[in-house]
Amino acid sequence: DTEVTQTPKHLVMGMTNKKSLKCEQHMGHRAMYWYKQKAKKPPELMFVYSYEKLSINESVPSRFSPECPNSSLLNLHLHALQPEDSALYLCASSPDGGENSPLHFGNGTRLTVT
Amino acid sequence: TQLLEQSPQFLSIQEGENLTVYCNSSSVFSSLQWYRQEPGEGPVLLVTVVTGGEVKKLKRLTFQFGDARKDSSLHITAAQTGDTGLYLCAGTDSWGKLQFGAGTQVVVTP
């Protein structure tokens, strides 16, 4: 079992819906990440939070809105998504976000936008 | 532009055979990480290599970091069906962001 928990595991939403993806870790890690992964492709970085502050936003469209309520939780709020946003959304954490800091991934939320 | 190039993209072998996956770049990395991702799961870290020329062994898996710290390889001896997965190398770029290679899909058949 992964130590990074993501909910829900699967999500189907229409283009006018608002939904949220949730991620939780209790390893005391201070950096948390959102990645998007399309089939047969590597994960693509979306956002990085370091010590609960947004440190990297990879020019992600505003229909994706991250939130870090505390050091253990990371949310991704979704609104007015497009079918091409369908993908596996992975959350990860690392001890301090340092250069050699390994990432611990959750098992992802499989999102389908209809 | 892909910072890290992996080869081959796809590899299908039978149980008991050996395989090698390569990760190459024109850039120098302070470290490289290898992950394995199985269907329906997130990537799992296998190893981090830090020192040029370093060789690390994890049971039947052998990881090597090039002397110039621009390339790495993963060698699996006597592959098992449980080794099936997407193998990803990753390195931190000059902006401090972890970049993944495109991945090598390995399929081990009985």
- Please report the residues numbered 1 through 20 in chain B whose beta carbons come closer than 8 angstroms to any beta carbon of chain A: none
Q: Average the pLDDT over each of B52-56, B73-77, B97-101 and give the range with the smallest value.
A: B97-101
List residues of A whose CB lies inside 8 A of any B CB. 2, 4, 40-43, 45, 48, 56, 90, 92, 99-100, 102-108
Residues of A in contact with B107 (CB under 8 A): none
Predicted local distance difference test score (pLDDT) of residue B60: 97
What's the mean per-residue pLDDT of chain B? 93
Which tokens in the block code for residue A70?
């505390």
**Which residues touch B9 (CB under 8 Å, ≥6 apart)?**
B102, B103, B104, B105
List pLDDT tens digits, range A8-54: 999 999 999 999 999 999 999 999 999 999 998 999 999 999 999 99
CA neighbours closer than 13 Å in the CB half-sphere of residue A113? 18
Q: Tell me whether residues B41 and A107 touch, CB distance under 8 A.
A: yes
Reply yes or no on whether the pLDDT at A97 is more than 90: no
Which tokens in the block code for residue B22?
């390569």
**Min CA distance, B31 vs chain A (Å)?**
6
Ordered DSSP codes for B4-34: SEEE-SEEEEETT--EEEEEE-SS--S-EEE
Residue A105 vs residue A98, higher pLDDT: A105
